[in-house]
Each structure stands twice: as C-alpha cells, then as structure tokens.
Structure 1
C-alpha cells in the first residue's frame, strides 16, 4: 500500500524493513514511517520472528505488506528476498531499530533527483544521545568498511557530499542499477552487504552520496550484537569475500594472506607471553572458521567477479586508489 499522505503522487520508493524478533522497537520505526511527508510503499520482511512481531505488523495502522520467510535469512537474505518484489524506482533500506525524521524520505529522494549519477544515498544516523553514528561509510587501507563520524557540514542542513559507501541501516538505492550489478549478496547473512553493493555501484559508474538532511535516530545494536563472536565472524568473512568479488586481485590476495598470517602467529605470540588483543576476532578458532568459510565461498566469488568485470565501466584499481584510506589522510 501507499502510505504517508500520498495525495495524487505515485510512490517512487519502496521502504524495506528486515526484522527479526523486534516487537520491542519495530513499532517506533513504523510510526515514524507513517509520518513521512512523501508517499511510499512499505514492505516488511519478517525473518520468522516468534516473539509476537507478526501480530504487531497485522495490527499496525500502516498495514504494511509483509513477506514472512520460513527461517531467519539475516539482513542480507531479507533484502535479497525483498528486491524480488520491488517495482519502484528506489529501494530504501531501513533497520527496524531506526526512527527516521519526518522529512527523511523526501531528503533522500531529493538528493537522488539532484544527482542522476548517484546510485545510492546514505542517511545521517545519530545515536540516542544525538552523536553522529554514521555519516556514510569509508574504505580503510585494508579494505574494511568504516562508519564515518561527524564531519564538517553534517548538521542537517548541508548539501549532499560524496562518500565511498552508504550505511545499510538507512539508505536509498536505485533499483535497476542494483539489479543489473548483482542485487544483494544474500549469502552474507549480515554485515558488508552495503559496502559490497557500493563497490559494485562504483564499478558500474555510479556515485554514492551522503544526504545530511536525511536524519535518522538509530538504536545501534538493538537488533544485533556488535562485538559478539557471530558479529566478528560475519564481519571478517564478508570483508574478505567482498574484496575477492570487487577489489583489485592483489589487494584481495594480500588481505587474505595477512589474515592467515596473523591467525598463524597468534598461538606463538601467546606462548611467548606477548600481548594480544582480547577481542573475539583474535580468537584462533573463530579466525580459522572465517578462513574456512572464505575458502569455501571463493570459487563462487571469483565467478561473480568475472561477471561483474563484464558489466563494469570503471577499473577496480582506479576505484581502490581513489577511496582506500581517503578519509584517514
């Protein structure tokens, strides 16, 4: 259905929320969408929630279209399933623990209209205390996607600025380029589906913008557990797979070898009594699992890489040199 005072204007955006056991915070997100100043279609992908989320969706005044999946496919899997149902010009990604400002969707659409070369537009995400949580995503020298913090001009009134990647917590993506360049990497389950998508958009000749006026309050971690072993497993694996799919091959090979070397060195460092980080991503067992899953996925990633190369209009090395470490200089 069209929501948010559609008037005589057709909806250009489908707002997609992927949810799982989110009854405690999903209603705030839905209420904020009901107040938007632009018409839109609303699609909620329910990853087999068993906490009453389905009842909340049935009862909510927005009456969203609901796609209930038989099992939890993660954020990436849910977005991939949703893309098959999107028929609007824009597909808008929104976390279920995000509360967008009333003019949020208008700001995203206006930024896309002002720059026809923009394949995606990221929102300005703020934490509950008002601090900037994500002003888009940068690309680090080792190929990590890193949320950018407060920068000059992100005060809710600045003009859009270019960033490497959008933050998948709240962003607009042009539907047809997304489909043409491989869709959403559903096997990622969670994390890096946004950075991978931005890589592919850029290789296809599209830019990515941050629209500071598109404000969102985000309860980061309400629907996931940053810092947990599962977080680090998905994060590290998906970074390496993204590099194999999208980055210059020497960069991908370097980072896989670096990850392997650090993993191999950890037991020796501990035997010698040398300090090692206590974070879950420095546990040898977890890292071996990451390497195993990365190796298992590499043949398919290389096949995808070749197909993407046939569709690309920009060189991978040129994109890497333009963006890797750019926000750290």
Structure 2
C-alpha cells in the first residue's frame, strides 16, 4: 500500500484554513496532513496549533512562492505520494480513494489530477485545471472544461480516466520518487505554470500524467493572485516562455519563441484597446525578464530526446477567438 500525505502550502491564509481545512481533516482519515507555512505574518500558525494539533506544521523561513515553498518542505514529508493541495480547496467525501486505487494499480501513473469544480458555482468546472490540462502547438495552456475564460457546465462529460498533458497545482498527486528525480519545481518560476513545466519534464522522461473524474474537489481560485492581477499576467507569459525553452528541442523551441514574441505583442495590444495598460506592460516586462534569465533557463535543458507530440490542436487562440469554440469536445483534433 502506498503511503499518501496531503501537503497544503499557506501564506497569510488564516481565513482560508479556517474555512477549508475542516473538509480536508474530515474526509482524509488516517492520512498525514501537513501545512507548509511560507513565513506568514498573520495568525495562520497559531490558529493551526490551537484548533488542529493533529496537522503537522512545516515553517519555511521565507516566502519563496509556490515552487520554493514546496521544494523546501517536501524533503521533510515521509510519503510515497504527495498530494499538493491549495489552501482554498474544499475536498469531498471519498475524494482520495479513486486516486489511491489508480496509483496503486498503475505504476506508470506518476502524476494524477482529480476533477476540479468551481466552489462558487459547483455545477461548473474551475479555471485552474478543470478536467485536465493540455497545450496547443504554440504552447498555450487550456483544459478540458475550460478554454480561456469559458467554463463548461459539469454534466458528467469528463467522468473518465485518461492521460492528460498537465495537472493543476491546485490539487496534484505526485509520487515522491518522481518529484525527487525531477528535482522538484523550478524555482525560477516563483509561481504559476511551474506545474506545467514539472509535468512536461515528467513526460520527457517517459512518465504519465493522468486525470480521473472519479475524484472531485471544489476550488475557490484567485486567492493568491486573481486573473485581474497584472503580476499573474507577468508570471503566466514569462513562465510559458521558460517552459518552451526548457522542454522542446531547439529546432522547435526557437521558432516558437519568435512566433510567441509576435503573438504576445498582439495580446498586449488587445489589453491596450481594453484600457488594461498595466496588463500590457506586464507582458512587456515578462519578455524582458525572460531575455534577462535566458542563459539560466537554457542551462536547464535536457541532453536527450524530448517529447515529440504534446498538443491536441494547432491553435487554441484561433479556435476560441476566431471560431468561437468554448467547448473542449468541439475542438478539431490533429
């Protein structure tokens, strides 16, 4: 039997812990639960010590973001499988058993994601992960159940178990041996899309990322950075370029970076026309930061073969904004 541990990253999230930790404790009997505190300045630690003495606390000395926060803490967690869980996730009864069974029976399943539903609109998928993540040929991420801001209603259409490209960091199960072999998250990312990079690297090693609709959780979303925050725009655009540079062969990576330079410029112009000047500036800063860190990112590249086929469609931008496709099952597969 595999030993599972639930590991929740927290930064100044006392209110979130008070609201969502009870469901984790209630519906995860017999499993070790850890809260990793990223140098919070609120009452998070004292709250847990007072009301949840059964929860193990790991206190990081600084707030290194999502990537460094987990990298610093997970070596202290004794488990065969880590469940990396956001502090704004409400779990459901029986949420663990389908994932545990899947990973027990399928040794190739290195990373697994459950169904992610919207806590504020529980019959719809949630932005961060939905029913499993993918990339298009240009490296833009999207999900079954979520294309850009279009969220599908959950009608059971994704109640399957299947291979996906990336699993959300909001609720990700990963074998500890895989996490260690991959070197954990890339701390250059700080936050956002580091889970895409981790899943991409896992697949470049021949491992599988799976989704199961037999397990479901509810995610609040935007509790760290909302979609309207320019810092999130900056991190998403920059970190996407990081992942392309690291995980594709050079003959594909460099032409794609040039293409993204043009497309990201168009995205910035769109923000300007929408009078979202700070978001347009965030895209420019993302590219400047990428070029500044290019050598450090390039040195992280593998020295052997890369994953050949990683996309299910040519362009999610074209499908969504030109052909008005909002539903994953309406996408034209390559």
TM-score (norm. length: structure 2): 0.82
What per-residue deviation string (whole Å, max 9, x for no partner) do you get for residues 93-141 of structure 1? 1000001112112221112123211111101111122111111111122
Instruction: Work out whether residues 104 and 215 of structure 1, in 8 Å CA contact, stay in contact via their aligned partners in 2.
Output: yes
Shift in alpha-carbon separation, 1:96–1:152, aligned structure 2, 3 A = closer
Give CA deviations for 1:59-110 in whole Å, capped at 9, x if unaligned.
2335322222233211122111122223311011100000111211222111
Please give the residue correspondences for 1:183-262 in structure 2 after superposition, counting only pairs within 5 Å.
183-261=184-262
Q: Which runs of 5+ in 1 are unaligned?
A: 1-9
**2:300 maps to what in 1?**
304
Judged with a 3 Å threshold, the aligned counterparts in structure 2 of structure 1 residues 266 and 188 are, in CA distance, closer, same or farther, namely closer
Q: In the aligned structure 2, how far is the partner of 1:53 from the partner of 1:37? A: 21
Contact 2:2–2:81 (Cα < 8 Å) also in 1: no
Q: Measure, in 1, the Cα distance between the counterparts of 2:216 and 2:173.
A: 13
Structure 1 segment 112-123 matched on structure 2, within 5 A: 112-123=103-114
The answer to whether residue 90 in structure 2 is matched with residue 84 in structure 1 is no
Q: Which secondary structure state, in structure 1, belongs to the residue aligned with residue 310 of structure 2?
A: helix
- Aligned counterparts of 2:99 and 2:157: Cα–Cα separation in 1: 12
* Unmatched runs of 5 consecutive residues or more in structure 2: 147-151, 317-327
Measured in 2, the distance between the counterparts of 1:280 and 1:56 equals 40
Say what the alpha-carbon RMSD is for the aligned residues: 3.0
Residue 132 of structure 2 corresponds to 136
CA distance in structure 2 between the aligned counterparts of 1:264 and 1:153, rounded to whole angstroms: 34
Q: Is the 8 A contact 2:233 2:279 kept in 1?
A: no
2:219 and 2:102 map into 1 onto residues whose CA distance is 21
Q: 1:161 to 1:111 in 2, by over 3 A?
A: same
Q: Distance in 2 between the 1:280 and 1:120 partners?
A: 38
Q: Give, in angstroms, the shift of residue 282 of structure 1.
A: 5.4
Cross-structure match for 2:321: none
Q: Which residue of 2 aligns with 1:17?
A: 8
CA distance in 2, matches of 1:195, 1:57: 31
Q: After the TM superposition, which residues 1-329 of structure 1 pair with which residues of structure 2 at under 5 Å, given as runs?
A: 12-37=3-28, 39-61=30-52, 63-128=54-119, 129-130=121-122, 131-133=124-126, 134-149=130-145, 155=156, 158-261=159-262, 276-279=273-276, 283=280, 285-306=281-302, 309-310=303-304, 315-320=305-310, 328-329=331-332
TM-score by length of 1: 0.83
Separation of aligned partners in 2, 1:222 and 1:266: 25
